[in-house]
Structure 1
């Protein structure tokens, strides 16, 4: 009889709610409720389902331990996996960070658990680390499914599909080493004011599959202002009248806006037309409305986020899959210095739009503006 792998599963169903409505985080029930009031839709269950669908061919070799309802049981039941409920969450209302911690504590006491799979953002990883990583010698590996707005921690797979591939490799008996990865989180209040203040809260063991598990995001602005000035000069020269430019988050795009002498939301998305800002810190729906109302061409300007290589799905969930489909791959300008690209090593650029079909369709070689009239081709991975 084949070995039956024991997996823990924790889902934070409120993770990522604040991203599409420009709240820059989802920590705390008050923020989650504010996001729901703005029309945000829960994204964590869908992203967990993307991971679990990779594992469906191996369902007879998996046994999950999880929490009731939205904490995991509902999805496992829906997708036909064997599971045991080891923690009862709230019968009504929303789950909380305390439910995440309580379930993680119960799973930490299980006699045999091969891997803990969880979905959320940095706050979720921090909650789990606080109770699951007390005794490093006895610790078992974890793997995060990215579903939050803030993904600075190194314990997350680069995408939901990638999380499934890591577990698939384990089931197939391929050698998978483990390594300690940092759990990071930032001050959301400062984040909303344009300041990234990251702090290390601990570490957990993760499968060391560098193709599938992200690097810890690097904070701070690029220091080479001459390179940034060259990039900005190239982008500004390309800009045309009556053209809509959606300016993504990040320090490189911020430098371009500074060169345009325009106000900018460092950690949000702004819209420029005729070198004037026509929308500030726009939500996903506001961006769609602007694009639909605009008769002319549209371009999205984005940069590479930190050391992970992501261009979509990390801190810019306002750039929804629906918007990306509407704008089109050929109308994406990626800006990044060669130093930042070289810092990725052999890892490709990545997009995590929330739509696996779109991610796959956009994969392949893509151009990156890295100076004045200077471009390079880089691989964009779709999972």
Structure 2
């Protein structure tokens, strides 16, 4: 296989520091202490590709968009060009993909989020070359991504067909203000495998009864880390405070300890016993690793995990997923977990 491989090195940097994205926020993310997420995700994907597809030739782009990472693994690689300036741009991504097409790649694999997916799709618009995403962004709504970096290698190694999939993106400024309105940016060919995620969908159900039941069972002295989304938002409403709808809030004993918190703010607010509360993304099933990177492995390892969701949403997604950037933690979280689906009712769901 001839594989075009490009990395958006800044993808996902704004997530753990509470920026909900990195578009035009790189300097602020760095000022808040953000570190790159995408290179490690790319390294994991390439390592898995080398294991599953050792005869692959990787065509990539100059630093920091993939060249050194491709050189680390035992694959034939070739660097076709380099970014224009010190800071990489969307134009650099499009230039890399155009060069991959000219070099007759079989698939373009990119590491980034929805914005990167839109840039890759634009460069592929007049071709039939399929594309596959390794998720590294904060918001990953599109259905062109594998579930994890390792799953991307599995898709590449096993796919027998492609199908048209949606590339979605949202306005990050509106997202930071609590408004989510995904826009269809492109429809592209994607290699198909069970390890692909679906597009983000909206869940429904009686979230008020879920919230009421959860609040009734909350305990004094426990720190509750309340994730984003409308279902957990109903819990925040039931507690009597206006939470950040797309952020993480921390609550204990009647007081909001942190609002729209970054990873560091959450860690500072944790107590002797902590519970992180999340709801799966409709249509995808992710409870960790999409839309809530503030809930980092460092946070999750100090917390009990509570999942809340409507029955309708669970019926739609079938199973739950995690992708925390820590494969060992992901493995620990897999298995069966109880999900609150009503005031008193729970359902067992598999975390895959």
TM-score range, shorter chain: over 0.9
**Which residue number in structure 2 is paired with residue 321 of structure 1?**
297
SS in 2 for 1:69: coil
Aligned: 1:182 with 2:158: no
Distance across 2 between alignment mates of 1:109 and 1:242: 61
- List structure 1 segments (4+ residues) > 6 angstroms apart after TM superposition: none
Distance across 1 between alignment mates of 2:253 and 2:157: 50
Aligned: 1:365 with 2:336: yes
User: Where does 1:272-283 land on structure 2 (aligned, <5 Å)?
Assistant: 272-283=251-262
Q: Which moved more, 1:227-236 or 1:10-19?
A: 227-236
Distance across 1 between alignment mates of 2:298 and 2:58: 33
Contact 2:52–2:154 (8 Å) recurs in 1: no
TM-score (norm 1): 0.89
Listed one character per residue, the Cα deviations across residues 101-123 of structure 1 (whole Å, up to 9, x for unaligned) are 1111222222x311111000010
Q: Report the CA distance between 1:20 and its aligned residue.
A: 0.3
How well do the aligned residues superpose, as a CA RMSD in angstroms?
A: 1.4
Correspondent of 1:125 among 114, 117, 141: 117
Listed one character per residue, the Cα deviations across residues 277-312 of structure 1 (whole Å, up to 9, x for unaligned) are 111011011111222xx2x31000100112100000
**Which residue number in structure 2 is paired with residue 82 of structure 1?**
76
Gaps of 5+ in 2: none
Aligned: 1:97 with 2:87: no
User: Where does 1:128-143 land on structure 2 (aligned, <5 Å)?
Assistant: 128-135=120-127, 139-143=128-132
Aligned: 1:8 with 2:1: no
Contact 1:312–1:353 (8 Å) recurs in 2: yes
**Which residue number in structure 1 is paired with residue 219 of structure 2?**
240
Distance across 2 between alignment mates of 1:264 and 1:60: 49
Distance across 1 between alignment mates of 2:320 and 2:346: 15
Structure with greater proportional helix content: 1
User: Where does 1:117-266 land on structure 2 (aligned, <5 Å)?
Assistant: 117-135=109-127, 139-170=128-159, 176-209=160-193, 211-219=194-202, 222=204, 224=205, 227-266=206-245
Distance across 1 between alignment mates of 2:207 and 2:300: 25
TM-score (norm 2): 0.97
Q: Report the CA distance between 1:177 and its aligned residue.
A: 2.0
SS in 2 for 1:61: coil
Distance across 2 between alignment mates of 1:254 and 1:180: 34
The number of aligned residues is: 352
Q: Report the CA distance between 1:357 and its aligned residue.
A: 1.1
Contact 1:263–1:277 (8 Å) recurs in 2: no
Q: Report the CA distance between 1:81 and its aligned residue.
A: 2.2
Aligned: 1:56 with 2:50: yes
Distance across 2 between alignment mates of 1:202 and 1:269: 30
Distance across 2 between alignment mates of 1:127 and 1:62: 24
Contact 1:11–1:120 (8 Å) recurs in 2: yes
Q: Report the CA distance between 1:364 and its aligned residue.
A: 0.5
SS in 2 for 1:365: strand
Distance across 1 between alignment mates of 2:88 and 2:76: 23
Listed one character per residue, the Cα deviations across residues 151-207 of structure 1 (whole Å, up to 9, x for unaligned) are 01110111112112112325xxxxx22111100000111101000021001111112
Distance across 2 between alignment mates of 1:338 and 1:68: 47
Listed one character per residue, the Cα deviations across residues 33-72 of structure 1 (whole Å, up to 9, x for unaligned) are 1101100110101011111121223564010111112111
Contact 1:59–1:82 (8 Å) recurs in 2: no
Distance across 1 between alignment mates of 2:142 and 2:54: 32
